[in-house]
Structure 1
């Protein structure tokens, strides 16, 4: 395990900067061909070309490794670049992959359109039921990709059962831990082989970074993903890595505060007229409430979803009246953000397809930020009043 300090020690003469320097160099010089050989062969440490790695990316990788109980993590230019490193870096034509049927929208698109185009067969199944995953497996299945909490309906995967199934069949289990974060669960410790993050979201936490992270428990698998990431140019920006390091310094504090407020907002919404349902893993009425304690260690997270009556007109009225809550298809910011899956992440699905997932025109996903609970509830009350008027 790489040593992790609150601030990395980088000497400059007799003093040490308290903030990691940004190192934007595209290329690094070596002393000689022999020195370069030693570096590439692992006998010495250093950098060559930023596409192959740079100091700011390594600082971020080390920090996330420590959170996930991992080693050798790979930082990429986006969350989808991390997904690509796992899927495209490890699968070949003729292979089969099973994905959860409520993955992030672009992950679903890759599963349904891009992988089949490359000769990789795909099947979607319910990750909340290990038997559903089992029925989707084939002799040529090489990987299962799930999210621990589904987007946007916040259903919990049956991680332990799926991990046992994959272990028995010799299939890689990749877990996107973006929603839950290692503050709630460390998938590698629960049987996963690969962990993926959109660092853009809760880990960086300020809506000003676009980065991803992927790591495998097996170093040989990790090396295959790293080689693909370098070859495909999935390189992260040094400046984004520098910003992400700053965000990671406060991740734990931000998570705890936002989680507390999420619970308060869910409780408030559940008692409001015109609200059909509230989905928050921390509530006793959540469909998977019994799984929350076992899987998330009683830490239900910062995301919730709710549905209002009145369809699209009510949804429009709510967004316009909930002043101060950004209507934006993202999550994990310091401010609360509101997403409308029917018009954003799941717009490519047919109305029937969205309905099958429980996504109506009145369905919203909320990423709770650092506002005080009373102020946030008051803002949502204004939005609900406008929605009822619509």
Structure 2
């Protein structure tokens, strides 16, 4: 894959050009005549009209993520869930059917379980690690399959190649949420995805100070349909957030490499501690999808680690309090490590039995590893285990 250096694609001042993209917060853009405005709306000339329909900072950010994913024409939205919404509601109609992975992000799961059926769009959840389960869920009216490469929060690895082949054979769109894995680990379009989306809020921006999404389709007509829906419904990205995210992308490669290295160390460390029932990390030999992870991710494990401790909710409370140097927060991708408890946050809407069936007990935690000194981070986890009476 050819890599190119990118500079801000913005007008210069005189004979020079800014090294940093300017923030362009204008809501409206003036045109010289009705004919000139027609030319913009009809795509004969490049320009902006109204910020809800697009603005320069979103254009610059979209182009950079497009290049990372090997795609064109991406849409920047006001959040990751706005990108999910642009796909599901921008492309589906009453009478359609959608298959989703059974461990999607919590709000994506809610949309599948409650919002789409309310609008007449049927949904089915299936295990994305089992292509036969996904095939069994398909119907004649199935419009698309939505999966994550690595599931949230149990880090199971989807049979992406198998599902892509199935979707091609059945004429169904394959939508891949690449937030966890990022294009540093995998480019889903190279494995047959039709649509790829991100919560840019997370690892791409990387500093917990923006809320953004991105989505693109291989077929430009599908991207155009999503863009019209996003503009109509106001799934608009802030110029300032776009500017901050572009700044975050400048260090993305460095952050990804450092946090991945530390995540591997943390997974190995936790696996050796008493009171830790299991540790989930894609590159570990004891991961249930280790062989598939090696093939798909080519040795990349990313920055997420999940683990389960003994002692139920009481031990979980004690652990979270005892690991006081780690932010207990339902997010990921920050420069600092964050600890999440799915039973009380992202998957709280499921019944205890439903969570247990998916492997999320009261002692189950998800970790987004940050940039701290690795030894200090391991010591902080040990503090949590001691506070829970496990070591």
TM-score range, shorter chain: over 0.9
Change (3 A) 1:221 1:4: farther
Is 1:220 aligned to 2:221, yes or no? yes
SS at match of 1:97: strand
Q: Following TM superposition, by how much is the alpha carbon of 1:54 offset from its aligned partner in structure 2, in angstroms?
A: 0.2
Q: Following TM superposition, by how much is the alpha carbon of 1:39 offset from its aligned partner in structure 2, in angstroms?
A: 1.0
Q: Following TM superposition, by how much is the alpha carbon of 1:9 offset from its aligned partner in structure 2, in angstroms?
A: 5.0
Is 1:137 aligned to 2:138, yes or no? yes
Native 8 Å contact 1:4 1:63 kept in 2:
no
Q: Specify the alignment match of 2:18 in structure 1.
A: 17
Is 1:308 aligned to 2:309, yes or no? yes
Native 8 Å contact 2:274 2:390 kept in 1:
no
| Residue-pair matches, total | 390
Q: Specify the alignment match of 2:211 in structure 1.
A: 210
Distance 1:111 1:4 in 2: 39
Native 8 Å contact 1:4 1:66 kept in 2:
no
Change (3 A) 1:173 1:4: farther
Is 1:104 aligned to 2:105, yes or no? yes
- CA RMSD in angstroms comes to 1.4
Q: Specify the alignment match of 2:61 in structure 1.
A: 60
Is 1:275 aligned to 2:276, yes or no? yes
Q: For residues 114-161 of structure 1, what are the alpha-carbon distances to aligned partners after superposition, in whole Å with 9 as ceiling and x for unaligned?
A: 000000000000000100000000000010000010110000000000
Native 8 Å contact 1:276 1:309 kept in 2:
yes
Distance 2:224 2:85 in 1: 14
Q: Specify the alignment match of 2:285 in structure 1.
A: 284
SS at match of 1:346: coil
TM-score, with structure 1 as normaliser: 0.98
Q: Specify the alignment match of 1:90 in structure 2.
A: 91
Q: Following TM superposition, by how much is the alpha carbon of 1:15 offset from its aligned partner in structure 2, in angstroms?
A: 2.2
Gaps of 5+ in 1: none
Distance 1:387 1:281 in 2: 26
Q: Specify the alignment match of 2:389 in structure 1.
A: 388
Is 1:248 aligned to 2:249, yes or no? yes
Distance 2:286 2:389 in 1: 24
Native 8 Å contact 1:310 1:388 kept in 2:
no
Distance 1:279 1:320 in 2: 22
Distance 1:58 1:46 in 2: 11
Native 8 Å contact 2:8 2:60 kept in 1:
no
Distance 1:303 1:55 in 2: 33
Distance 1:43 1:240 in 2: 29
Q: Following TM superposition, by how much is the alpha carbon of 1:6 offset from its aligned partner in structure 2, in angstroms?
A: 4.2
Q: Specify the alignment match of 2:360 in structure 1.
A: 359
Native 8 Å contact 2:8 2:18 kept in 1:
no
Q: For residues 226-282 of structure 1, what are the alpha-carbon distances to aligned partners after superposition, in whole Å with 9 as ceiling and x for unaligned?
A: 000000100000000000000011101100000000000000000001100000001
Is 1:127 aligned to 2:125, yes or no? no
Q: Following TM superposition, by how much is the alpha carbon of 1:4 offset from its aligned partner in structure 2, in angstroms?
A: 6.2
SS at match of 2:143: strand
Q: Specify the alignment match of 1:115 in structure 2.
A: 116
Distance 1:90 1:370 in 2: 39
TM-score, with structure 2 as normaliser: 0.98
